Structure 1
Amino acid sequence: MHEFGPVDLLARLLSGLALVLGTYNPYAMSYFHWITEHSGNVSAKILVGVLLLILHVVAILSSMRSLGLIGIGLLTATFASGAWVLIENGLLHVEDPRVFTFTLLVILACVYASGLSWSHLRNRLSGQVDSTDVTFNSPV
């Protein structure tokens, strides 16, 4: 059985960033900007929109199931506080509305990645075994 590691967490973070920033970003290179153009293939825009919706629903439901509403709130507050520390130390400049929006979207992607990874992280931290690990690794 593959053990969850830093590469897996990074893959989930990059996937979350691709999903969130591919749906909308303030730099006009996203699905939102593509569909607001009044040209192009409407059926392709609808197909991509449905696929993005499915991926967002999977990320949201996975996060809700693994973290719960309170966990998502606490995690969002943690990431937002981290951004605040970066702002106060002059490492992040959010005077530009695009940078501020981008920061919020990165926080959302981090919440998605955490929600998709939380059960693996919890198992590693606590030493508990997931029922699928027991079932598939059973000597019987």
Structure 2
Amino acid sequence: MGYLLRILGALVLVLATYNPSGLSYLTWARAAWADSAPFVALAGLILLIGYVIYVRATIRSIGGFGIALVAALVAVLVWIMVDMGWMAANDQTALTWAGLIGVALILGIGLSWSLIRRKLSGQVDTDDVEDQE
């Protein structure tokens, strides 16, 4: 359940930043900058803090190669959806949604990877040793 919450958190972070529906930070920031610049800046900093947490954990846990593998997995899944006719290859909105979900999956898996690896292998990361005492 914790893994799903981390992925859901990443999805909220990514989709709150931008999504094709128009209900996102970037859309709001463009429209509200002149009247609400301090609030736009505050919201942007909160999103940035979220990205720093997720990206740093992802890079530390799965690294560049792991990021590339998850991205390739997402790309192949999108390819399968296009090949099966579930998504049109020229539908920019659907491809944007798929890309955003893919980024969220990368970040969510990256944040969860140490826990997943511990469950699969029984090995504890060195960062976790203090928690074992």
TM-score (norm 1): 0.86
Task: Name the CA distance, whole Å, in 1 between partners of 2:125 and 2:11.
Answer: 27
Q: Which runs of 5+ in 1 are unaligned?
A: 1-6
Match of 1:127 among 119, 122, 129: 122
Offset at residue 133 of structure 1 (A): 5.4
Matched, 1:54 2:55: no
**After the TM superposition, which residues 77-92 of structure 1 pair with which residues of structure 2 at under 5 Å, given as runs?**
77-92=72-87
Offset at residue 40 of structure 1 (A): 4.0
Distance 1:132 1:97, change over 3 A: closer
Find the counterpart in structure 1 of residue 15 from structure 2.
Answer: 21
Offset at residue 94 of structure 1 (A): 4.5
TM-score (norm 2): 0.90
Offset at residue 13 of structure 1 (A): 1.2
- Which string of whole-angstrom CA distances, capped at 9 and with x for unpartnered residues, describes residues 14-61 of structure 1? 111100000000110000000110454221110000110111121111
Identity %: 36
Q: State the number of aligned residues.
A: 132
Find the counterpart in structure 1 of residue 61 from structure 2.
Answer: 66
- The alignment's C-alpha RMSD in Å is 1.7
Q: Which runs of 5+ in 2 are unaligned?
A: none
Task: Name the CA distance, whole Å, in 1 between partners of 2:113 and 2:128.
Answer: 16
